[in-house]
Amino acid sequence: MRDMIRDGVTGRLVAPGDSRDLADALLEMLGDPERCRRFGEAGHRLLLERYTWQAVGARMRSVIAPLIGRTDVPQPAACHG
């Protein structure tokens, strides 16, 4: 989850196993629907930037192309699905 949740930006991170911290975070979020909306919007933007097939393909290309010594590896095509 730490890849998607940026504390205070896309959600709230709590200490693992700390039920009090979790309860406090849940109560805080329940009391602030506007903040929840902002977290959701920020999470959606992050998803579109980092986790579409095209974004993942571009990151893979940037790692693989130098390893095989080629610069002509095609850009990933837009993918729907």
Span 38-75, pLDDT tens digits: 999 999 999 888 888 888 888 888 888 888 887 676 66
Instruction: Identify the pLDDT of residue 79.
Output: 57
**Residue 19: C-alpha distances to residues 25, 26, 57, 66, 77 (Å):** 10, 10, 38, 46, 44
The pLDDT of residue 22 is above 60: yes
CB 6 within 8 Å of CB 50: no
The HSE-up count of residue 69 (CA atoms within 13 Å, CB side) is 0
Q: How far is CA 64 from the centre of its chain?
A: 22
Structural contact between residues 2 and 13, judged by C-beta atoms closer than 8 angstroms: yes
